Amino acid sequence: MMATEVTVPVLGESITEATLGEWLKQPGDAVALDEPIASLETDKVSVEVPSPVAGVMGQHAVAVGDTVRVGAMIATVDAGGSAAPKEAAPQPAVTQTPAAPAPSPAPAAETEPTGDSPAALSPSVRRAVLEHGVDPATIKGTGKDGRITKEDVEAAAQNKPAAAPAPAAAPAPGATTTGGRKEERVRMTRLRQTIAKRLKEAQNTAAMLTTFNDVDMTAVIEARAKYKDLFEKKHGVRLGFMGFFVKAATMALKDIPSVNASIEGDDIVYHDYADISVAVSSPGGLVVPVIRDAQDLTVAGIEKTIGDFGKRAKEGALKMDEMKGGTFTISNGGVFGSLMSTPIINPPQSAVLGLHRIEDRPVVVNGQVVVRPMMYLALSYDHRLIDGREAVSFLVALKNAIEDPTRILIDL
């Protein structure tokens, strides 16, 4: 039986290292050719490492949380071998871990699954399991390859019978408890570290300023209510508000090209296309896949692209190339209930649009006070490149298109 080394694959341009996020196969497990055996966390997305041969999983050369470089060996696979009996697997030792008398504050104690499931849990799922006190072995995963997601854990916690206080009374492994107060130390994921670094760099580099406006959503709400059923029947996707905003933004960017530009050294780079980055949630944090050439897409095409991004972000299946580039970003904090915010630009971009929740407010229309569904818009921009007049003009153009969606149809 011949052992084949499993090495870290090429991760993308300029990416030389990653963090081992989880082991998908344990020593002794049978693996098929190209079957994922490990998940790596890079600066942008999670990357699965496939098995180079069919056989049996050998020994792990690195542990969860270790930093690995491209080309480094992380494990071996015994080609053509037979899977070890289940009794030989290390799971029984894991089930005894909570009974150990010596609690450890180190996060290493949380890297093993707590239930009978052989699949390792991602860091965000492990945290959710500890917070909600649910047994992962009783949860049916809806993620890729049947893996448990954070949403699965939260759903299981809501359905857990109220008359089961025993699990809550036991302290979570790896947590320290003093006088009824608990603390848990969890290592930041590589993605979260990168997000923190880039956001701080943006604040340190750009002369960042935010300007606000509000928009009456009446016309868009009425159009959506009138056509949403026909739209979904024809295009196979729901009609949301983001399709309108992305399309309106591409029109405004064409009118105000500096908002779609970037600074490179002493040069200003103007783009005759609009690659719109849309912020979506993933288990590891906020990611910003890019809608390429959004100016050429219909509202339906934009909605389909955003829906696909959101689904694959939750599964950790976004690709590196889908995260690169982008000339302008739209972040919708309204889905979480945000009323107003000052979003941070995503370098080398020079501006980001923040959308917020819709709420009924009294406004004056034709001299009369009426109640309208209003939304605050926030444009954060790099004042080194974009003047206040241009920022305000962009928001006004966007506001006009949303309040009169016919403008989107006739490109006005």
Token pair, residue 62, equals: 């690195």
Same domain for 216 and 307: yes
Residues 143-193 pLDDT 10s: 766 778 777 877 888 776 654 444 444 455 456 666 678 888 887 777 677
What's the pLDDT score for residue 94? 44
Residues 398-412 pLDDT 10s: 999 999 998 888 776
More confident residue, 265 or 167: 265
Q: What are phi and psi of 209, to 5 degrees?
A: -145, 150
Cα atoms in the Cβ-side hemisphere of radius 13 Å centred on 167: 15
The contacts of residue 97 (CB under 8 Å, 6+ apart) are 109, 112, 114, 173
Q: How far apart (Å, rounded) are the C-alpha atoms in residues 354 and 282?
A: 19
Domain that holds residue 337: 192-410
Determine if the peptide bond prior to 348 is cis (ω within 30°): yes
Burial of 157: CB neighbours in 10 Å, binned 0-12, 13-18, 19+: middle
Where a domain ends, among 117, 152, 183? 183
Range from 95-99, 249-253, 317-321 that averages highest in pLDDT: 249-253
Query: Residue 114 — pLDDT band, cuts 50, 70, 90?
Result: very low
Number of residues in the chain: 412
Q: Does position 70 have pLDDT exceeding 70, yes or no?
A: yes
Arithmetic mean of pLDDT over the chain: 81
Query: Residue 205 — pLDDT band, cuts 50, 70, 90?
Result: confident
Residues 9-40 pLDDT 10s: 887 656 778 888 888 888 888 888 888 888 88
Are residues 402 and 248 in contact, defined by beta-carbon separation less than 8 angstroms?
yes
What's the pLDDT score for residue 112? 38
CATH number reported for the structural domain that contains residue 353 in this entry: 3.30.559.10
Query: Residue 222 — pLDDT band, cuts 50, 70, 90?
Result: very high
Q: Lowest mean pLDDT: which of 111-125, 194-208, 256-270, 397-411?
A: 111-125
The SS3 call for residue 290 is strand
Same domain for 235 and 160: no
Same domain for 138 and 62: yes
Same domain for 236 and 160: no
Tell me the pairing of strands 351-355 and 328-332.
parallel
Same domain for 303 and 170: no
More confident residue, 387 or 92: 387
More confident residue, 176 or 50: 50
State the amino acid at position 269 in one-letter form: V
Same domain for 127 and 268: no
Same domain for 222 and 163: no
Same domain for 198 and 74: no
Same domain for 170 and 206: no
Query: Residue 353 — pLDDT band, cuts 50, 70, 90?
Result: very high
Burial of 1: CB neighbours in 10 Å, binned 0-12, 13-18, 19+: exposed
DSSP summary character for residue 118: S
Which residues are known catalytic residues?
Answer: 383, 387
What's the pLDDT score for residue 220? 94
Same domain for 176 and 196: no
Task: Based on DSSP, count helices (H) and strands (E) in the chain, helices before strands.
Answer: 10, 21
More confident residue, 112 or 268: 268
What's the pLDDT score for residue 327? 95
What's the pLDDT score for residue 174? 55
Q: Does position 269 have pLDDT exceeding 90, yes or no?
A: yes
Residues 359-395 pLDDT 10s: 999 999 999 999 999 999 999 999 999 999 999 999 9
Same domain for 85 and 208: no
| Total of domains in the chain | 2
Q: How far apart (Å, rounded) are the C-alpha atoms in residues 208 and 43?
A: 24
Same domain for 66 and 21: yes
Where a domain ends, among 148, 183, 218? 183
What's the pLDDT score for residue 189? 74
Where a domain ends, among 135, 156, 183? 183
Query: Residue 104 — pLDDT band, cuts 50, 70, 90?
Result: very low
CATH number reported for the structural domain that contains residue 86 in this entry: 2.40.50.100
